[in-house]
Structure 1
Amino acid sequence: MTKRSLPPLTALRAFEAFARLGRMTTAADELCVTHGAVSRQIRSLELSVGLPLTEGPRHRLKLTDAGERLAASLSGAFDRVERTLADLRSADAAELHLSCLGTFAMRWLIPRLGTFHDQHPGLRVRVTESFAPADFARERYDAAIRLTEHVPAHGGEAIAFLDNFHGPVAAPQLVNGRPGVKAFAGLPRLHTRPHLQAWAEWERHTGLSLPEAPQNREFEHLFYMLEAAVAGLGVGLSPFVYVAADIEAGRLAAPVGFVRTPAQFYLILPPGPAKPAAAAFRDWLLDEAGSVPVPS
């Protein structure tokens, strides 16, 4: 690409402010510099372009013809930049970039987002998947949803909006209506690679002990494992909010119900005032979560 041959932006800004406002002192006030600094920038600009841009006595300077032409070009360019920035800020204010657990987004959040859009038709929600701890300094998003036992220490706002309950689930034909651990103890056990300790945690939370599984099957993601459970490949372990709709629809059965865990679902906001879209989403999310039933 051809390198631009332009004078320093500081000099162009000083000259444009003087040309628009008509006085060095007024231009200096706008730019938060001294009268002398504006004068020096204009002089350096004249030297850079090789043309006189101002003329007349020091305290009654006016623009030359070349100065008038340059001032008109600069003012038009700066106006366009200012309008573009205003448009970008307006568009950004209307969008929420949400970093979210993938399975939570698929199975709980997205099916409910229609009510948010109905209430806030001018706002947009962009969801990206992440399981890593929320880090607003490293990644650019406006809010995050995470499942954790500990309030994230990041200097912003962390709101626990849903308790977490987990329990074993399997295709109804596998457990055949039988209640209790015996309904699934002899089935292949399904796991997710990122959370292989899930079954041990469930045993600790319930005080129950399971016999060794006849077979263990691992999956890369929780939503893969849940589809495997629906397909009858074994018994999996899931948070209640991920499978509530499947249980109601008869796609999955929960033979021993669900037990509460120490972890909670958190909405995490960065430090500082929440942007309008994030504030609206926070209020909607709390209302929506308040209507979620607790598993029996």
Structure 2
Amino acid sequence: MKRRLPSLNALRAFEAAARLGRMNAAADELSVTPGAISRQVRQLEDHLGLALFEGSKNQPRLSRQGHALLPALSAAFDQMEAALQALADDSQDTLDVACLGTFSMRWLIPRLYHFNALHPRIEVRLSTTERARTGQGQRHDLVIDVGQGPLQAGACELFAEWLGPVLSPALAAALDLRQPPDLAKAPLLRTRTRRNAWAMWCESLGLAPLDGKGAEFEHYYFSIEAALGGLGICLAPWHLVADEVLTGRLLAPFGFQASGYRYRATARAQHPATALFSHWLQQQVAQMPQPPTA
């Protein structure tokens, strides 16, 4: 069936003017003159046989019909823009990857140069898993997160999480930590996104809960930095502090215990770039050093 639509330029002119509230602002956005915007809006009104604006030329305001038309037009233009962006991304081998912020900063980004060297035509764009869960921002081709339970369709396990207390050598020298219960007298750092971490660790060792008072931080990234600065003891995942422990910048007096959580990568789009990135992730995981145990 043939579509009987008015000029696309007329629709764009009205949508911009109605959304921005001024003809001049619409003209700036569309890189035309205010007179051109006015002519396009009049053309649309003539096509519809309706007044979309009312009031004076200096202070036009939307009519009832204009108010009714604006949301549908804005949604249609947003949808067209998203479809065109997705097409452009596919043609440029762009890969949108969402993951936890600290995981991205301390594990993924330091290794990403290697993937870029292997596949220079693939642009990897990173965002957080919080945006992926809420549906904000662009679509995601691959999501890396941590959790328990069975794997979903399209997901593969990367590695099991291991937790252990870590602290700076200076703080260790000031404390007499011979057994895990000695941690009760030390400042214990907590991370808001994993407030139950200390309780889980104590339970895995059969220890009573620890009440050591210490600062709480928003993410592991800040808690680890605080531990490096000697502010307290951080119960950290091995993969986030392996380099610091192996180089002696952090000490792990009681080793690391499996937390029961697993990191996994879930593909939400099936194309060659996603498969290449998933395979590369598994290669990087295979090269990770094993955590020391108690």
| TM-score between the two structures when normalised by the length of structure 1 | 0.64
In the alignment, the residues of structure 2 paired with residue 294 and residue 252 of structure 1 have an alpha-carbon distance, to the nearest angstrom, of 16
Displacement of 1:220 in angstroms is: 1.2
Aligned twin of 1:286: 282
The SS at the match of 2:279 is: helix
Displacement of 1:217 in angstroms is: 1.3
Among 266, 272, 278, the alignment partner of 1:276 is 272
Give yes or no for contact 1:134–1:268 (8 Å, CA) kept in 2: no
Among 151, 155, 161, the alignment partner of 1:164 is 161
Aligned twin of 1:222: 220
In the alignment, the residues of structure 2 paired with residue 167 and residue 205 of structure 1 have an alpha-carbon distance, to the nearest angstrom, of 11
Asked if 1:175 is matched to 2:172, the reply is yes
CA deviations on 1:16-72 (whole Å, 9 max, x unpaired) are xxxxxxxxxxxxxxxxxxxxxxxxxxxxxxxx9xxxxxxxxxxxxxxxxxxxxxxxx
Asked if 1:198 is matched to 2:194, the reply is no
RMSD: 3.0
Change (3 A) 1:121 1:172: same
Give yes or no for contact 2:145–2:264 (8 Å, CA) kept in 1: yes
The one-letter code matched in structure 2 to 1:5 is: S
Aligned twin of 1:144: 143
* Structure possessing the higher radius of gyration over alpha carbons: 1
Asked if 1:91 is matched to 2:91, the reply is yes
Change (3 A) 1:85 1:189: closer
Change (3 A) 1:133 1:199: farther
CA deviations on 1:170-190 (whole Å, 9 max, x unpaired) are 111111295532664321111
Aligned twin of 1:118: 117
Change (3 A) 1:289 1:134: farther
Displacement of 1:134 in angstroms is: 4.8
Displacement of 1:87 in angstroms is: 7.2
Displacement of 1:85 in angstroms is: 8.6
The SS at the match of 1:204 is: helix
Give yes or no for contact 1:160–1:267 (8 Å, CA) kept in 2: yes
Aligned twin of 2:7: 5
Which residues of 2 match residues 69-108 of structure 1 at below 5 A? 88=88, 90-92=90-92, 94-108=93-107
The one-letter code matched in structure 2 to 1:279 is: A
Among 239, 247, 255, the alignment partner of 2:253 is 255
CA deviations on 1:179-236 (whole Å, 9 max, x unpaired) are 53266432111111222111101111222235431x2311111111111111111111
Change (3 A) 1:109 1:150: same
Matched residues, number: 213
The SS at the match of 1:173 is: helix
| TM-score between the two structures when normalised by the length of structure 2 | 0.65
The one-letter code matched in structure 1 to 2:7 is: S
Task: Among all aligned residue pairs of Structure 1 and Structure 2, give the percentage whose two residues are the same amino acid.
Answer: 33
Displacement of 1:291 in angstroms is: 1.4
The one-letter code matched in structure 2 to 1:180 is: Q
Gaps of 5+ in 1: 8-47, 49-83
Give yes or no for contact 2:181–2:207 (8 Å, CA) kept in 1: no
